[in-house]
Amino acid sequence: MAKKEVVFGIDEKFNLPDSLREKIKEEFTDVFHFVEVNGDGELGRLADPDVFIGWPSDKMLRVMPNLHWLQLPSAGANHYSDHPLLADHVVITNASGVYGVSGAEHILALILAFARGLPVHIGQTAKHIWQPYERPVLIEGATVGIIGLGDIGSEAAVRLKAFGAHVIGVRRHVHDKPDFVDALYGMDEMNQVLGKSDFVVNVLPQTDETEGLFDSERLSCMKPGAFFINVGRGQTVDERALALALRNGRLGGAGLDVTYEEPLPKTSELWDLPNIVITSHSLGLSPERLEKLAALISRNLRNYRDGKPLVNVVNRKLGY
């Protein structure tokens, strides 16, 4: 019986260390034929892949007509869920679970930065100014609204509860409220959450439903002086409306790990606002992320080999 072909799509954003790739290959060498492709210039190496691990380009997708399963290295799947070159039968899985802990700690870092006035202190440090920050905020007792209670949002909620915050969440399905949130709301009740929250954490994926969701009207529902944290997708936020709310003092500050265009253009007004922190899509970085990602890939290859359900299957209609 011929071995099924599995492709590692290697690029500057996804390149497991040789040791991790070899470990994966060694476990499955009896059932899978592994091919490594680095860019569109190596399309000739593809025979008829069943599985692709990585972010395939359009040219790659065109030469893989019999692809059955696409394993993404990211939690987000918005670019591929409705991709016209991916047949309906192709199963897409994402890397949800790999970035939960680092994502939660990143959220906490941004919240703490604004709670203790670190953007102000950093600016003063550069100018050699010794001046206490007179408007600190305590996380204990503060209300934190988490919009999107997936892996990252849930991990953040657990840690925020340990800080003594009142945590309220928004997600599509409101049944079975988890213990780590104090209240749970549906997407249609989001404005209520925004009006109650001292910190709003957006962890939503990019879908047709969430595109531009945080516009001027939505941002105006937030408490005056509240802080907005976006670690979901930049396309969910109207950046002009956000910049205006930050400039006129309607919002106390914003922590952005993602932006509409990445890298954020040097001409963007967001760079120059004093009450903003931009962290350049760094949420997923951690010392263990590649080991966790390799373990997830191995687990799913094992399930694929054994005919068991794959982990982290993306609902292609919803986009996540």
Q: Is residue 166 part of a domain?
A: yes
Q: Is residue 132 part of a domain?
A: yes
Q: Are residues 94 and 110 in the same domain?
A: no
Q: Is 281 a catalytic residue?
A: yes
Q: Is residue 160 part of a domain?
A: yes
Give the dihedral of Cα atoms 277, 280, 281, 285; nearest 10 deg: -100
Q: What are phi and psi of 200, to 5 degrees?
A: -115, 125
Select which of 281, 289, 299, 316 is catalytic. 281
pLDDT at position 86: 97
Measured in whole angstroms, how far is the alpha carbon of residue 88 from the centre of its chain? 24
Q: Is 27 a catalytic residue?
A: no
Q: Are residues 18 and 64 in the same domain?
A: yes
Question: Sign of torsion, CA 193 169 231 319?
Answer: negative
Return the percent helix, strand and coil in the chain, to nearest 5: 35, 15, 50
Query: Rounded distance, CA 37 to CA 59, Å?
Result: 12
Q: Are residues 261 and 168 in the same domain?
A: yes
Domain of 17: which CATH number? 3.40.50.720
Q: Is residue 128 part of a domain?
A: yes
* Cα distances (angstroms) measured from residue 317 to each of 59, 64, 175, 217: 24, 22, 21, 27
Q: Is residue 264 part of a domain?
A: yes
Measured in whole angstroms, how far is the alpha carbon of residue 212 from the centre of its chain? 16
pLDDT at position 175: 86
Strands 253-256 and 166-170: unpaired
Max Cα–Cα distance, the chain, nearest Å: 73
Q: Are residues 119 and 44 in the same domain?
A: no
pTM of the model: 0.95
Strands 51-53 and 32-37: unpaired
Q: What does the radius of gyration of the chain's CA atoms come to, in whole angstroms?
A: 22
Q: Are residues 143 and 266 in the same domain?
A: yes
Query: Rounded distance, CA 275 to CA 114, Å?
Result: 9
pLDDT at position 170: 98
Select which of 209, 261, 262, 288 is catalytic. 262
Q: Is residue 316 part of a domain?
A: no
pLDDT at position 193: 98
Which residue spans within 125-252 are E strands per DSSP? 143-147, 166-170, 183-185, 199-202, 227-230
Per the CB < 8 A criterion, the answer to whether 256 and 70 are in contact is no
Q: Are residues 89 and 21 in the same domain?
A: yes
Query: Rounded distance, CA 133 to CA 185, Å?
Result: 34
The number of folded domains in the chain is 2
Q: Are residues 88 and 198 in the same domain?
A: no
Structural domain of residue 30, as residue ranges? 4-98+287-306
pLDDT at position 1: 63
* Regions of the chain short of the pLDDT cut 50: none
Q: Are residues 171 and 148 in the same domain?
A: yes
Q: Are residues 257 and 292 in the same domain?
A: no
Q: Is 233 a catalytic residue?
A: yes
Q: Identify the burial level of 168 via C-beta atoms within 10 angstroms of its C-beta, where 0-12 means exposed, 13-18 middle and 19 or more buried.
A: buried
Q: Are residues 172 and 198 in the same domain?
A: yes
Select which of 21, 106, 233, 250 is catalytic. 233
Q: Are residues 155 and 202 in the same domain?
A: yes
Tokens of 28: 């499955």
Q: Is residue 320 part of a domain?
A: no
Q: Are residues 90 and 108 in the same domain?
A: no
